[in-house]
Amino acid sequence: MSWAAFIHVPLGPVLLGVLSHVTVFIRGEWHMRVPVLITTYSCLITALLWIEYSISGSSKASITIVGRITGLYATGLLGSIIIYRRYLHRLRDFPGPSLAATSKLWHVWKSADGKNHLLLERLFNRYGPIIRTGPEELTIINAAIPHIIDGSKSQFRRATFYDAFLPMVAISATRNVDDHDTRRRIWNRGFSSKALAGYESLMLRYTELLASQIQNLLSEESMGTNSREVIINVTDWFAWYAFDVMGEFAFSKSFNMLRDGKWHSKIRLLVDGMNAGGTFGKVPWLVQLGKIIRPRVSLVKDWDSMLQWCRDCMDERLQWLINAYIGDGSQQAELAWLQGDAVTMIIAGSGTVSIVLTFAFYQLARDHSQQQMLYDEIKDVNIYDGLKLQECAQLTAFINETLRLYPPVPTAGNKVTPPQGVTINNTYIPGGVTIVAPKYLIHRLESSYESADQFIPERWTTLPDMVKDNRGYVPFSQGKYGCIGKQFAMTEMRLVISLLLKKFKIEFQANDNKGEALFEDLKDNFTFCTRRFTSEISVKESCLMLGGWFRRVHTFSSNIRRSYAM
Ligand code: HEM
């Protein structure tokens, strides 16, 4: 049978579709080849149209025939993919929703409301500790898993999710092990104990600015009245604080959000871009597709505009960083890496710290005895002495417990099993499988913590029996991909909590429903976040069409009352 005859019988294109799956697409990663695939298929369809037109002489007939051939081919290809993933795949015996096994789009759809952590919790309750959450993906909720995937001897590598940020290159996103090691070595110098001591004055300056801005609001509010309280939106104020600190750190330049009491437009774009990346990054080819049709995707345009702004900031900052590189003696700085690392710094160091502070203040508002206990511990401590502050056991326990219940990176950090596979609790998992180890759920395992869902800081001090198995406690992750800014973040959080507690008393506002809005708003978009930007920044009409995902949400407010004198 000739080639032309073959594709004209219905079975021909179907068989071609099946063949292209079992011989080509079944192997390797394809998400980064979306542009090549689109180009190839467009050329093939155009060639077919031309051939059909030259045979029939009718454009209508040739479009109908080529449409039918394309449809049959797609049916063969997709049918083969679905049947293979569902019934023949090496992960076929792992439990999980059947649609999740056939396409990762199911996960994007189901977590488009930002509640991925709750979705995984429901799946855990239904299917148990190992769940197939994607064609090549298992979610494992077990205290041993963080160490297996990220421990010092681990051979796991970063999963495809991290490609979502390409072409931006950065330490936190690169999947190339050598590139990562190189970046990590450079960064390690910037986070040495000596370097950190130098940053303390920077943090102090901004912590004092935060306190004085709240004080100003309090004074304004109470002017001419007996009121001694002011309601502030802690979500915003802690975000402004953390971003301003990181702006100084990465660019030697504040975003001045604390000073101005409002969001910097580029930082909003950054947070929006990150949040979208958190959801759509589950299907990396979808992100790449978005980048191809970028003129029509406002989020991509916004992200690009934010990157350009970072480049501009970096130009000002460049000299300092180049010095750091040359000091390392190993290589010349590459601008792309510098830009990516700067964005990484700001993203990794801001959203994380601010969300922990928000939750810490939620807990303080909820439990006045905790507030009193912390106040008693720090009231006579010179908080300008970093070492003294570190010795405050109750304060550290309070932060640890906040990080346990609300880890800022609740479900992300996916890694891929090494080629030989691994055995976890007598279950063999083949090589090349993406493993998700959600900290949000592992930190709440009853087998690891007594009264696991309750906020009890004393489990880290006077009640150690309440921690039964601490292996799964990894808010900062661990190993070579673990958080490089852990000490930086701990210092910031200790400073903010202690300074504000010395000055103010924290309460829910009188008519508030005890902070429940915080949990309604909470979104798992790689990091936990609690606020969408829709009010003054153009409420993107195109985004609203995505099913209310960008709907306006409430924010968590606390009553911060002046109570104690310094
Ligand atoms: C409470 C605060 C923080 C928490 C809970 C936290 C948590 C984490 C986690 C879980 C990761 C691993 C992410 C992954 O697996 O992909 C990570 C990576 C990272 N964090 Fe943090 N982080 C915090 C604050 C900071 C700060 C303040 C900085 C910078 C000053 C920072 C810089 C980084 C960087 C650069 C990475 C990537 C490390 C690498 O790829 O080698 N983080 N962080």
Of 354, 395, 372, whose CA–CA distance to 529 is shortest?
A: 354
Of 120, 240, 255, whose CA–CA distance to 555 is shortest?
A: 240
Tally the C-alpha atoms within 13 A of residue 176's C-alpha that lie toward its C-beta.
7
Tell whether the torsion through CA atoms of 52, 58, 64 and 65 is positive or negative.
Answer: negative
| Predicted local confidence at residue 225, as pLDDT | 67
| Predicted local confidence at residue 298, as pLDDT | 62
Of 135, 134, 132, whose CA–CA distance to 124 is shortest?
A: 132
Atom of ligand 1 nearest to the CA of 174: 40
Spell out a b/e string for 388-417, using b for 16 or more CB atoms within 10 Å of the CB, else e. ebeebebbbbbbbbbbbbbbbbbbbbbbbb
Q: In angstroms, what is the span from residue 182 Cα to ligand 1's centroid?
A: 17
User: How does strand 137-140 pair with strand 434-436?
Assistant: parallel
| Predicted local confidence at residue 539, as pLDDT | 22
**How many Å separate Cα 293 from the centre of its chain?**
24
Query: pLDDT by residue for the chain (566 residues), tens digit each?
Result: 555 666 667 788 899 999 999 898 888 887 777 778 888 888 999 998 998 888 888 888 888 888 998 999 999 999 999 999 999 999 999 999 999 999 999 998 998 888 999 999 999 999 999 999 999 999 999 999 999 999 988 999 999 888 877 777 888 889 999 999 988 998 888 888 888 888 899 999 999 999 999 888 878 766 666 666 777 788 888 999 999 999 988 878 889 999 999 888 888 877 777 766 666 667 777 777 776 766 555 666 666 777 677 767 766 666 555 555 545 544 545 677 877 788 888 888 998 999 999 999 989 888 889 989 999 999 999 988 888 999 999 999 999 999 999 999 999 889 999 999 999 888 999 999 999 999 999 999 999 999 999 999 999 999 999 999 999 999 999 999 999 999 999 999 999 999 998 888 888 776 656 777 788 888 898 888 876 433 222 222 222 222 222 223 334 444 455 444 33
Q: In angstroms, what is the span from residue 409 Cα to ligand 1's centroid?
A: 9
Q: In angstroms, what is the span from residue 565 Cα to ligand 1's centroid?
A: 35
| Predicted local confidence at residue 392, as pLDDT | 96
Tally the C-alpha atoms within 13 A of residue 47's C-alpha that lie toward its C-beta.
7
| Predicted local confidence at residue 553, as pLDDT | 33
In angstroms, what CA-CA distances link 445 with 120, 130, 143, 237, 389? 13, 14, 8, 32, 30
| Predicted local confidence at residue 56, as pLDDT | 82
Pocket lining for ligand 1, CB < 6 angstroms? 171-172, 184, 344-345, 348-349, 352-353, 356, 408-409, 413, 475-477, 481-485, 488-489
The pTM of the full predicted model, rounded to 2 decimals, is: 0.87
Q: Using most ligand atoms within 8 A of CB, pick from 175, 352, 355, 402 the residue to mutate for ligand 1.
A: 352
| Predicted local confidence at residue 316, as pLDDT | 65
Give CATH 1.10.630.10 domain extents, the chain.
Answer: 179-404+492-565
Q: Using most ligand atoms within 8 A of CB, pick from 169, 409, 483, 490 the residue to mutate for ligand 1.
A: 483
The complex scores an ipTM of 0.99
Beta carbons of 468 and 450 less than 8 angstroms apart: yes
The residues, any chain, with a CB within 8 Å of residue 482's CB and separated by 6 or more, are: 150, 474, 476
| Predicted local confidence at residue 118, as pLDDT | 96
Q: In angstroms, what is the span from residue 344 Cα to ligand 1's centroid?
A: 9
User: In this predicted model, what pLDDT tens digit does every residue of 391-434 receive, in sequence order?
Assistant: 999 999 999 999 999 999 999 889 999 999 999 888 999 999 99
Of 28, 29, 11, 9, whose CA–CA distance to 19 is shortest?
A: 11
The residues, any chain, with a CB within 8 Å of residue 13's CB and separated by 6 or more, are: 7, 69, 70, 72, 73, 76
Which residues sit opposite 132 in a β-bridge?
A: 138
Q: Is 504 left (phi over 0), alpha (psi -120 to 50) or beta?
A: beta
Helical H segments across 368-509, by residue range: 368-378, 386-390, 393-405, 439-442, 486-503
CATH superfamily of 179-404+492-565: Cytochrome P450 (1.10.630.10)
Nearest 5°: phi and psi at 527? Answer: -100, 160
The residues, any chain, with a CB within 8 Å of residue 459's CB and separated by 6 or more, are: 397, 401, 449, 450, 466, 467
- HEC string of 30-68 equals CHHHHHHHHHHHHHHHHHHHHHHHHHHCCHHHHHHHHHH
| Predicted local confidence at residue 31, as pLDDT | 76
Q: Can you spell out the DSSP letters for 446-482?
A: TTTBTTTTS--GGGGTT-GGGBS--TT--TT--GGGS
